């Protein structure tokens, strides 16, 4: 397991294909040693887990959060939103939620067949960007 600056990532894996999305979320959570949670279980949580997480989310669920006034903290505070692009065209009702993550600069689209190793690089870069340089590093 390799994590930038010993910080655990807070990642949301978004996509319409449930089995592909869940498998990717499972592998990322196992790699980083953080819990994997389904987005449907998140609304009851008042704040994100402090030690990182990987959330598995369908675009439709994000659309419901957007309609209800915004995503819960565990989704709103994510370091990175990985959007599994398996369907041609837009994401329909989830468009506003996707725009929210784009505006925050934390959304990245990826093909379903991209190797996990490429995502590790992206996640660790996002951690460095969001949390700043670690001790003993030069800016």
**Residue 78: helix, strand or coil by DSSP?**
coil
Helix/strand/coil percent split, the chain, to 5: 45, 15, 40
Number of domains in the chain: 1
**Domain assignment of residue 105, yes or no:** yes
Residue 35 has what pLDDT? 92
Average pLDDT over residues 18-29: 92
Residue 17 has what pLDDT? 80
**Domain assignment of residue 4, yes or no:** no
Residue 3 has what pLDDT? 46
CATH number (domain holding residue 118):
3.40.50
**Domain assignment of residue 80, yes or no:** yes
**Domain assignment of residue 137, yes or no:** no
Residue 81 has what pLDDT? 87
Quote the distance between the C-alpha of residue 56 and its chain's center: 8
What does the pLDDT look like over 74-114, one tens digit per residue? 777 788 888 887 654 455 556 666 777 777 778 888 888 89
- Burial classification of residue 109, based on how many CB atoms lie within 10 Å of its CB (0-12 exposed, 13-18 middle, 19 or more buried): middle
Residue numbers of the domain that contains 80 = 9-130
Whether the per-residue pLDDT at 138 is higher than 70: the answer is no
**Domain assignment of residue 135, yes or no:** no
Instruction: Calculate what percentage of the chain has a pLDDT beyond 90.
Output: 19
**Domain assignment of residue 62, yes or no:** yes
Whether the per-residue pLDDT at 7 is higher than 80: the answer is no
Provide the 10 A C-beta neighbour count for residue 11.
26
**Domain assignment of residue 102, yes or no:** yes
The CA-atom distances, in angstroms, between 15 and each of 50, 81, 97, 104, 135 are 24, 10, 13, 19, 36
Structure tokens at 89: 């065209």
What does the pLDDT look like over 107-135, one tens digit per residue? 888 888 899 999 999 999 888 887 665 55
**Domain assignment of residue 21, yes or no:** yes
């Amino acid at each position: 397991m390799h994590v930038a600056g010993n910080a655990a990532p807070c990642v949301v894996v978004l996509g319409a294909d449930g089995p592909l999305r869940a498998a990717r979320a499972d592998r990322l959570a196992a790699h980083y040693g953080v819990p994997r949670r389904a987005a449907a279980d998140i609304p009851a949580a008042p704040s994100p887990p402090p030690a990182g997480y990987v959330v598995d989310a369908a675009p439709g669920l994000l659309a419901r959060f957007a309609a209800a006034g915004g995503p819960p903290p565990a989704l709103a505070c994510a370091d990175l939103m990985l959007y599994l692009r398996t369907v041609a065209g837009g994401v329909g009702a989830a468009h506003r939620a996707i725009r929210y993550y784009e505006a925050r600069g934390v959304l990245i689209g990826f093909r379903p067949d991209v190797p996990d190793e490429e995502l590790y690089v992206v996640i660790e870069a996002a951690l460095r960007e969001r949390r700043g340089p670690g001790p003993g590093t030069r800016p």
